[in-house]
Chains A and B, each alone.
Chain A
Amino acid sequence: MSVLEANGLRLVRRGAVLLDGISLSLRAGEMVGLIGPNGAGKSTLLRLLAGLAPPDAGGVTLVGQRMEDWTARERAARLGYLPQHFAPHWDWRVSEMLRLGLERALRPVPLPLLAAHFGLGMLMERRWSDLSGGERARVLAAMVLAPDPPVVLADEPEAALDIGQAAALMAQLRGRAVAGAAIVVALHELNLAARWCDRLILLVEGRIELDGTPGEVLVDRTLDEAFGARLERVRMPDGELLVIPTAGLSPG
């Protein structure tokens, strides 16, 4: 069943076409990696899919209902948006932040249960300024995922994390997908995307260039052109494909 659908999304700002003809459909339990070079429109697309900005043309359907027909609160209970940068303006306690995340839920779980699930039980009285980068990422994920939304959109959530923390976060998102949520995660790191996602979408200059399984997308030469790099594909003993950039493509 499709829980998030976009039809013909188009967005123009100051004469520049940022997104054009974007149509995609997400099934429950599917984890989709959104890949593409800087400036391809990944963040912009996620903001449109999250209902945070309206498109100039086209529309988004969330759980069978047009995005604009949900109230802001109804939408917040059904959609979790993990931003690329997060810096709260006040020095909150972890417990207060989790409570703010939980308040969106239609059927909130008890706070200690949420904290335990994200391994934050010992940090509840700590303030944001006292947390490490990894702890902050866990708090943010717990806030966003607190209402157990059927759709989760994550915008390069691994950008400020080390590889261990990034893997933990991806495992967390993967767990949500296994439990039935649809996940779209914009990622810089192709191998991370291939390792954790069921499906990859390559976005180039605001258009979808490739849409398929990691196996299909990673072998496609369009990928090399999109990133302006020569990519070497290495098959691992377990069959998994690794993509290694070896050189930049010469211009022209």
Chain B
Amino acid sequence: MPKTNRSPGTGRIAQQFEILRSQGKKALVTFVTAGDPGLNYTVPAMHSLVAGGANLLELGIPFSDPEAEGPAIQAANERALANGMTLAKVLDMVAEFRQTDLATPVILMGYLNSVLAMADFPQRASQAGVDGLIMVNLPLEEGAELQQALRAVNIDVIWLVAPTTSDERARDVVSNASGFLYYVSLKGTTGSGSLPVDEVTERTAYLRTLTDVPLCVGFGIKDAETARAVSAHADGVVVGSALVQLMAQSADVASATERLRTATAAIRQGIDA
């Protein structure tokens, strides 16, 4: 099986993985929900995640029916919506972040109905400085049109591969990959269960035979230890629910950003060790 060799992209995602590869480092990808726990938390949180050692930022688009999320991110979605969050406000936050950070890729993650409701989403997202999009409920078969529209404005659609994805299907997904591939480490919702490291190792090794596109692993990675175990077999790891919980438990923006920075640095150390 010949590998799919992607010409290196010119966007921030490709550049970031290029830099990390040249330094022999793995990517730390962090997730927080936009507008949670308060509207004024998100942009400072993004900067402190970068300060703590995050290389790519995922920002959740709050949605009323987040059917693939575990309790932590469900609660974050409800809080954010109660704060009046909308997709337009998510884009404003990205634009504000971009005023002082032009290097760190920002990837929006959410559910298709949010994006469908904004007719000119590709243009507006591109103008705000968005680099990638992960749609939890958009499998490859349904996503060709959106991927094409976003490719025209240099936004990568990032496909997910699950433990249940067959080899044949994985080849289809891989051949349409852009940005990076997101391997879902467990059968379950975000932040749930215990990580089956052996299975992750086996599946990521198989995916590696198919493609040179960067491979990140997420769902169920909570701390430095699990991050280290998984990053050995991938180009990066995604941490979400643990950070979301940390923010929810913080008294104010200052303490939330400080705790985020510390937690991110600890996970960074685990990966680099």
Do A and B bind?
Answer: no
